[in-house]
Amino acid sequence: MSKMEYQPLTLPRLQWNKKTLSNTYGEIVAQPLEPGFGITLGNALRRVLLAAVEGSAVTSVIVKGVNNEFSTLPGIIEDVMQILLNIKQIVILNKTGKSGKMHLKISGKEYDRATVGNIVADEHVELINKDHILAHLAKDGELDITFFVDSGRGYQPAKWPIGTALQADNRIYLDAMFSPVVKVFFDVEKTRVGKDIDYDKLTMHIFTNGAQKPNDVLNYAVSILRTQLEHFLLASEIPFNEISEVPPMKEVVVTEKEEAILKGIPVEILLKSIDELELTARSHNCLESHGIKRVLDLVNLTEDEGLKIKNFGRKSLDEVKDAMKALGLSFGMNINEEDVIKALKQRGALEVGK
């Protein structure tokens, strides 16, 4: 029995934008990806980044002089509820992942405000946003708080002991968002490999609170996904890594001129008839009567110019916008026809002399 010969996959190159990379923001580009894989991988990574990356947060506190979150403290401008809301915004880097304690004791005679920088933490707990204000103090005010730090994933509601209104140690429990990831979004564009132009280019934008760097949380998320997916392998793994390869960079990256003009779209559509957009007869006829016969003519039109076309109202405009958006196009792109022809020749999609 002959051995099955599988088709190789196109493997992506990954590159961080070093100009914008920081402790709180990172932009990473993965290209080329198999057609359709941009959204598939982007969605999976985004969901894991937002929900499953491990972090640490304050889960309970003991505030000296109070036994519930609805109290007030003499000499402190904020009530206890506002102080607790401020405490929930403390950004913590836990170097071991183990539980820890922190302590704040401050007097209005020395300071007019209590900040995260005034907190003394366990050795394995590092505080990131030290300028964050927890409370303002009058001269007779005094604040004494013990913080309890735990690690976890995602969101955790306050773990109040069942059946007990007030705790023996006056502890107040807090809900916590452990994830260091603040926001994630991604863009998918088209890119080419050789003469093929339907491959995907995935650009991910990752924002964190500074407790972990974007490249670290991405590595964590990929590790989680890979671990989970491995358990779906109910038979021997197909060795795609062995039979596939990453295309040379020169075959992947479009020229700067093309990138500026085309923004990752398939250029062949630009010189085709507006029939490609499958518009209603009313919209199609209005455009043609105005001399708009090619997609290129349409994208070089502004919205204001479109609304001035006879019998072409806002409803028709919105229809055309939706049709163009599906192809990665929009009004007012200001694309030069010579540049399109040149780009098509470079990609081998237009015969020289045509």
Q: What pTM, to 2 d.p., does this model score?
A: 0.67
Give the C-alpha distances (Å, rounded to integers) separating 327 from 225, 250, 298. Answer: 30, 25, 13
In the predicted structure, residue 60 carries a pLDDT above the cut 60:
yes
What confidence score (pLDDT) does residue 271 get?
83
Mean pLDDT confidence for 137-148:
94
Mean pLDDT confidence for 24-44:
93
Tokens 């836990």, residue located:
94
The first and second tokens of residue 289, run together, are: 């009567």
3-state secondary structure of 243: helix
Q: What mean pLDDT, rounded, does the chain reach? A: 85
More reliable by pLDDT, 42 or 253? 42
Assess contact for 274 and 288: CB atoms under 8 A.
yes
Please determine, looking at this structure, whether the domain spanning 256-346 carries the CATH number 3.30.360.10. Answer: no
Give the C-alpha distances (Å, rounded to integers) separating 289 from 14, 179, 271, 281. Answer: 47, 56, 18, 12
**Alpha-carbon dihedral angle through residues 345, 348, 351, 353, given to the nearest 10 degrees:** 30
Residue ranges per structural domain of the chain = 13-53+182-247, 54-177, 256-346
Name the region of 48 (left: φ>0; alpha: ψ -120 to 50; beta: rest): alpha
What confidence score (pLDDT) does residue 259 get?
47
> pLDDT (tens digit, 9 = 90+) per residue, 171-205?
999 999 999 999 999 999 988 777 777 889 999 99
Q: Which among 117, 103, 112 is positioned nearest to 140, based on CA atoms?
A: 112
Assess contact for 209 and 24: CB atoms under 8 A.
yes
Contacts of 33 (CB under 8 A, 6+ apart): 10, 12, 41, 199, 200, 201, 202
In the predicted structure, residue 248 carries a pLDDT above the cut 90:
no
Lowest mean pLDDT among 110-124, 159-173, 240-254: 240-254
Task: Decide which of 3.20.20.10, 3.90.740.10, 3.40.50.12780, 3.30.1360.10 is the CATH code for 13-53+182-247.
Answer: 3.30.1360.10
Q: How confident is the model at residue 346 (pLDDT cuts 50, 70, 90)?
A: low
The first and second tokens of residue 231, run together, are: 């358990």
Please determine, looking at this structure, whether the domain spanning 54-177 carries the CATH number 2.170.120.12. Answer: yes
